[in-house]
């Protein structure tokens, strides 16, 4: 039952005797050179791994001398002979990057930093988990993005906004005095994939977290995370100066307000000396912000940035801003508001942009701000929790979706100006680089609810470290470390993971449909949702189905959101005859009987895709059923029962959407599409 809890750090016993002996050669003599708290957690992790890999052997002493068949030490303490043999490769180490190299039969793990050594240690343990021979290991791996971060949407009462894996793991009530083992295991898991920052509170923020009672608790978490190289950020409610500071205003240009933020920052740093900074949602969905005072997003962000600057803190200012009165296509508003402010932000501000211009749909085109803000560091916000993607019970490997965005070409500086190059700073020379994922972690015993959703946490970390990493390799690594190296399991299951996103898009929102989920909780189909408080929270606003056709016209003839992209991108998408069918109804309004490149009419294509999605979900389930006996029964059974739900819900999506849209299409279902139940 513990297997789910252990995530990808199972350290399963090495069954093969020859292999075991080969690894023991190395593991019986380990040196960790250095005495920081991080060195201590490295030793701890090695001992834990040892007892997992070699359950029948006594854990040996881990020395700190310059001997050892595994030798772990920073590059500045490397013995001269080793330094010489590694030569120029050492000079390629950057940031918390690390290298693993074999020298005279010893594995050398080195880095410029202590945390880099921890990352290198995890790389070694990963190699063993994958049963790779150590004698030929050669790795030099530097992070491409500096701040790799989780965003927890956790409230102080321990509910989690859009969380589907139980309650918040932060037990505020027991903090600061009790540091739960789960916090340590959280830090281990994050460090093992290079995550080095975490924002622990909801973006829909409660200003109370900025008061001493909570700062003391947050500081206890920061202390626990520090040896693992993880820094804490907090969400700052924009009107905190009023709510907890007793001021009359939160106007960012008011000197008293600025002074309040400065004092607040000083106070926070007295609790948490390496505090990362603030994550801010302002002027969005009821959150207060600079608009309340007629100020710009830059005015707002800079007031907070100024307060953090003396301490080296950052402001992550979200671009998820849209107006209460729906003046225009919601997908255009962030760009309209932020683009003119390029270059107006203080240089410790990063603007945090969701992957797409709407809101974490199963598929969105990349956000047009990427590539459009050369003078302002932009960071990515992905959602790891599956708000709009079936929530806890659907298995969909998000890495495929993220890869699509990361590889998208903005053409900001000609061909090859991918989103990943915006994020890693190479395209515009950003001073700060960062990426965030909205966590899918909760108190469920397996952390993420769906056992397979652990892969999304894992993949996020891997892509944050290297946004161009191969997602198939990531999935394979994760499966091997989490379940088994048995290829008869890994091969078919990787295949399921890689195809799962396309399958889900087919049964939920094919052809560029978006935001047709049920109202407010966003679970299950709701293409009929209309009316209510605001238009741009309804399905009918987005799909606009009528007897004439369906889709949101974002060309010149419509909202012209297309105009926010580079000309080359516009050219790809402006023509309904040549645009990828994946984005067709995102950008175009199309008649039901329009013939598509596939040879089907729009209506036929839609129906066939919904059907294909259902068949895909069934195939996932069948493939999984064939895995019985290859892994532990608990997790096998858990995934099996969730897949049964997923298949049911895929059928539900298909039937609901096709019955609803058929009223407008007024045509029969094409052959091959099952009659709705």
Contacting residues for 17 by C-beta, under 8 A, at least 6 apart: none
The nearest distance, CB 359 to ligand GCU, in angstroms, is 5
Gap between the Cα atoms of 107 and 138, Å rounded: 9
x/- binding map, residues 104-143, to ligand GCU, per CB under 6 A? ----------------------------------------
x/- binding map, residues 319-358, to ligand GCU, per CB under 6 A? -x--------------------------------------
Asked if 382 interacts with ligand GCU (CB under 6 A), we say no
Longest dimension (CA), the chain: 79
| 45 CA to centre of own chain | 25
DSSP letter for 517, please: B
The nearest distance, CB 283 to ligand GCU, in angstroms, is 11
The nearest distance, CB 514 to ligand GCU, in angstroms, is 13
Q: Hey, what's the torsion of the CAs at 314, 316, 317, 318, to 10 degrees?
A: 180
Query: Which secondary structure element, helix H or strand E, spans residue 318, and what is its range?
Result: strand 314-318
**Two structure tokens written together for 467:** 């946004």
Asked if 254 interacts with ligand GCU (CB under 6 A), we say no
Cβ proximity to ligand GCU, 388 vs 478, nearer residue:
388
What stretches of 58-129 show up as alpha helix (H) in DSSP?
Answer: 80-86, 88-91, 114-129
Nearest Cα neighbor of 299 from 331, 261, 263 is 261
Do 71 and 108 form a contact (C-beta atoms < 8 A)? yes
Gap between the Cα atoms of 143 and 39, Å rounded: 20
Query: Which secondary structure element, helix H or strand E, spans residue 450, and what is its range?
Result: none
| Total chain residues near ligand GCU (CB under 6 A) | 9
Q: Say if strands 139-141 and 98-103 run parallel, antiparallel, or are unpaired.
A: antiparallel
x/- binding map, residues 269-298, to ligand GCU, per CB under 6 A? ------------x---x-------------
Cβ proximity to ligand GCU, 85 vs 204, nearer residue:
204
Q: What is the DSSP string of 211-261?
A: SHHHHHHHHHHHHHHGGGT-EEEEE--TTHHHHTT--S---TT-HHHHHHH
Cβ proximity to ligand GCU, 523 vs 587, nearer residue:
523
Do 97 and 111 form a contact (C-beta atoms < 8 A)? yes
The nearest distance, CB 285 to ligand GCU, in angstroms, is 6
Do 305 and 315 form a contact (C-beta atoms < 8 A)? yes
Gap between the Cα atoms of 71 and 85, Å rounded: 15
Q: Restricting to residues 140-179, which ones interact with ligand GCU according to CB under 6 A? A: 161-162
The nearest distance, CB 316 to ligand GCU, in angstroms, is 13
* Cβ neighbours around 11 below 10 Å, total: 19
Phi/psi at 198 (5° precision): -150, 135
**Two structure tokens written together for 380:** 């990515």
The nearest distance, CB 281 to ligand GCU, in angstroms, is 5
Gap between the Cα atoms of 205 and 366, Å rounded: 27
Q: What is the DSSP string of 268-298?
A: HHHH-TT--EEEE--SBTTB--GGGGT--HH
Task: Provide the annotated active-site residues.
Answer: 285, 359, 387
Cβ proximity to ligand GCU, 16 vs 285, nearer residue:
285
Asked if 203 interacts with ligand GCU (CB under 6 A), we say yes
Cβ proximity to ligand GCU, 245 vs 290, nearer residue:
290
Gap between the Cα atoms of 171 and 157, Å rounded: 9
The nearest distance, CB 204 to ligand GCU, in angstroms, is 5
At residue 323, the 3 state secondary structure works out as coil
The nearest distance, CB 388 to ligand GCU, in angstroms, is 8
Cβ proximity to ligand GCU, 155 vs 192, nearer residue:
155
The nearest distance, CB 85 to ligand GCU, in angstroms, is 50
The nearest distance, CB 677 to ligand GCU, in angstroms, is 30
Among 154, 329, 337, 359, binds ligand GCU (CB under 6 A): 359
Residue in this structure with the two tokens 């858990």, named with its chain if needed = 638
* Cβ neighbours around 410 below 10 Å, total: 23
Q: What is the DSSP string of 137-164?
A: --EEE--SSSEEEEE--B-TTS-BTT--
The nearest distance, CB 69 to ligand GCU, in angstroms, is 49
Do 236 and 206 form a contact (C-beta atoms < 8 A)? no
Asked if 204 interacts with ligand GCU (CB under 6 A), we say yes
How many helices (H) does the chain have, and how many strands (E)? Answer: 21, 14
Cβ proximity to ligand GCU, 320 vs 447, nearer residue:
320
Do 582 and 511 form a contact (C-beta atoms < 8 A)? yes
Strands (E), 326-418: 349-354, 378-383
Binding site for ligand GCU (CB under 6 A): 161-162, 203-204, 281, 285, 320, 359, 387
């Amino acid at each position: 039952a513990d297997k789910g809890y252990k995530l990808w750090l199972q350290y399963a016993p090495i069954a093969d005797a020859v292999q075991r002996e080969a690894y023991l050669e190395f593991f019986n003599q380990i040196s960790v050179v250095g005495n920081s708290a991080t060195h201590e957690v490295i030793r701890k992790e090695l001992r834990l791994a040892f007892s997992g890999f070699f359950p029948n052997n006594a854990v040996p002493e881990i020395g700190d001398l310059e001997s050892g068949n595994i030798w772990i030490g920073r590059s500045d303490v490397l013995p001269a002979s080793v330094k010489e043999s590694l030569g120029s490769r050492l000079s390629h180490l950057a940031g918390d990057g690390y290298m693993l190299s074999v020298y005279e039969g010893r594995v050398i793990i080195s880095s410029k930093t202590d945390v880099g050594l921890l990352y290198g240690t995890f790389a070694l343990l990963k190699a063993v988990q994958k049963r790779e021979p150590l004698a030929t290991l050669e790795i030099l791996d530097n992070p491409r993005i500096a701040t790799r971060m989780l965003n927890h949407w956790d409230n102080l009462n321990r509910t989690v906004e859009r969380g589907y894996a139980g309650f918040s793991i932060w037990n505020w009530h027991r903090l600061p005095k009790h540091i739960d083992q789960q916090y340590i295991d959280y830090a281990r898991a994050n460090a093992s994939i290079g995550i080095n920052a975490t924002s622990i509170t909801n973006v829909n923020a409660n200003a109370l977290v900025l008061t001493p009672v909570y700062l003391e608790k947050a500081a206890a978490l920061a202390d626990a995370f520090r040896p693992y190289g993880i820094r804490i950020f907090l969400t700052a409610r924009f009107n905190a100066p009023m709510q907890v500071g007793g001021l009359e205003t939160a106007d960012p240009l008011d000197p008293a307000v600025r002074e309040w933020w400065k004092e607040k920052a000083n106070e926070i740093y007295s609790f948490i000396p390496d505090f990362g900074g603030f994550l801010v949602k302002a002027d969005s969905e009821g959150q207060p912000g600079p608009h309340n005072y007629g100020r710009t997003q830059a005015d707002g962000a800079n007031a907070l940035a100024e307060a953090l600057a003396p301490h080296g803190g950052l402001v992550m200012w979200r671009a998820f801003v849209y107006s209460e009165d729906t003046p225009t296509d919601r997908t255009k508003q962030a760009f309209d508001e932020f683009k003119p402010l390029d270059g107006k932000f203080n240089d410790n501000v990063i603007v945090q942009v969701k992957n797409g211009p709407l809101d974490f749909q199963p598929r969105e085109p990349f956000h047009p701000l990427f590539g459009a803000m050369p003078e302002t560091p932009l960071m990515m916000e992905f959602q790891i929790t599956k708000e709009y993607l079936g929530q806890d019970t659907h298995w969909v490997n998000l890495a495929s979706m993220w890869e699509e965005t990361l590889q998208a070409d903005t053409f900001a500086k000609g061909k090859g100006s991918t989103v990943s190059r915006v994020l890693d700073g190479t395209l515009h020379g950003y001073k700060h680089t960062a990426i965030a994922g909205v966590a899918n972690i909760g108190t469920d015993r397996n952390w993420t609810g769906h056992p397979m959703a652990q892969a999304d946490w894992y993949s996020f970390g891997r892509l944050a470290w290297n946004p161009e990493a191969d997602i198939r390799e990531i999935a394979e690594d994760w499966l091997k470390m989490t379940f088994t190296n048995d290829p008869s399991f890994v091969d078919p299951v990787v295949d399921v993971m890689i195809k799962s996103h396309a399958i889900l898009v087919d049964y939920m929102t094919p052809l560029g449909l978006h935001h047709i989920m049920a109202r407010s909780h966003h679970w299950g189909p709701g293409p009929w949702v209309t009316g209510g408080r605001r238009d741009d929270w309804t399905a009918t606003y987005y799909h606009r189905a009528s007897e004439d056709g369906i889709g949101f016209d974002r060309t010149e003839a419509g909202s012209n959101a297309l105009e926010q992209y580079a000309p080359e991108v516009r050219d790809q998408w402006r023509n309904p005859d040549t645009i990828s069918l994946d984005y067709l109804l995102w950008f175009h309004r199309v008649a039901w009987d329009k013939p598509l490149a596939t040879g089907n009419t729009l209506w036929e294509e839609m129906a066939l895709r919904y059907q294909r999605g259902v068949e895909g979900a069934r195939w996932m389930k069948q493939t999984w059923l064939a895995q019985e006996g290859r892994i532990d029964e608990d997790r096998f059974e858990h995934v099996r029962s969730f897949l049964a739900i997923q298949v049911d819900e895929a059928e539900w999506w298909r039937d609901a959407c096709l019955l609803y849209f058929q009223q407008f299409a007024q045509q029969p279902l094409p052959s091959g599409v099952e009659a709705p139940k």
